[in-house]
Chains A and B, each alone.
Chain A
């Protein structure tokens, strides 16, 4: 089967905010998929208990672990907020250019608020 080239979108075009958020939504989804694997690994570690859990716990409170958790929580809230934008579009609302830009900003702001609130509560 012949190799069908993809348009080199990400490497060439300067993306408007909407497009940037769109690909970020997909990237966040992939990150969250990995996050689910780690979430379940965490649950298994809890179920098994003992030194295995302590090791995983140690990694989670390390700088790398905290960084990963911040990335995961940001991805979670962003995917959630942008996902709600998608649900409105699916219902047929919000396609006017000004509304799209406004909802883009709203999604980013709410993401920041939710992430900030979560980490403020945690720490």
Chain B
């Protein structure tokens, strides 16, 4: 990702920093309505018995918004955890190991969640 000025000068950020910054902001904006929806939808359920939650998840809107929440929150979480690791761990080996672990883990969480939603609804 490059700013127009950096493009003109032929320079720009050496790494992927700005892209990370933007992705974090974009997922944040998406998560504002999604998180509010999740909190208040769960609160509005009459109970949390199996039949109730299956019916709720099977609703088309729930499927869409829950999947969107999983994607956005897992991406946002992966980026945030990466920043935390980079802030506190300076030794390269554990730092990179943890970052890779968090990236793969976040992806796995998102994937598992989405497949679960599909299995429940379809």
Evaluate contact between B50 and A121: CB separation under 8 angstroms.
no
Evaluate contact between B84 and A80: CB separation under 8 angstroms.
no
Evaluate contact between B36 and A46: CB separation under 8 angstroms.
no
Evaluate contact between B43 and A49: CB separation under 8 angstroms.
no
Evaluate contact between A118 and B116: CB separation under 8 angstroms.
no
Evaluate contact between B77 and A87: CB separation under 8 angstroms.
no
Quick one: which of B43, B77, B116 contacts A32, CB cutoff 8 A?
B77
Q: B27-53: which have CB < 8 Å to A?
A: 28-29, 31-32, 35-36, 38-40, 42-44, 48-50, 53
Evaluate contact between B43 and A40: CB separation under 8 angstroms.
no
Of chain A, the residue at the smallest CB distance from B25 is A90
Tell me the smallest distance from the CB of B3 to a CB of chain A, in Å. 15
Measured CA separation A76–B80 after assembly (Å): 14
Cβ contacts under 8 Å, B92 to chain A: 1
Evaluate contact between B73 and A36: CB separation under 8 angstroms.
yes
Tell me the smallest distance from the CB of B6 to a CB of chain A, in Å. 19
| Chain A residues within 8 Å of chain B by Cβ, number | 38
Q: B52-72: which have CB < 8 Å to A?
A: 53-54, 57, 70
Quick one: which of B43, B50, B80, B120 contacts A122, CB cutoff 8 A?
B43
Tell me the smallest distance from the CB of A23 to a CB of chain B, in Å. 11
Evaluate contact between A83 and B32: CB separation under 8 angstroms.
yes
Evaluate contact between B44 and A121: CB separation under 8 angstroms.
yes
Answer yes or no: B109 CB below 8 A from chain A CBs.
yes
Tell me the smallest distance from the CB of A84 to a CB of chain B, in Å. 7
Given A4-B90, A47-B119, A57-B48; A33-B31 close (CB under 8 Å): no
Task: Give A contacts to B, CB under 8 Å.
Answer: 1, 3-4, 6, 26, 29-30, 32-33, 36-37, 39-40, 43-44, 46-47, 49, 53-54, 57, 60-61, 73, 76-77, 80, 83-84, 86-87, 90, 114, 117-119, 121-122
Task: Give B contacts to A, CB under 8 Å.
Answer: 25, 28-29, 31-32, 35-36, 38-40, 42-44, 48-50, 53-54, 57, 70, 73-74, 77, 80-81, 84, 88, 90-92, 109, 112-113, 116-117, 119-120
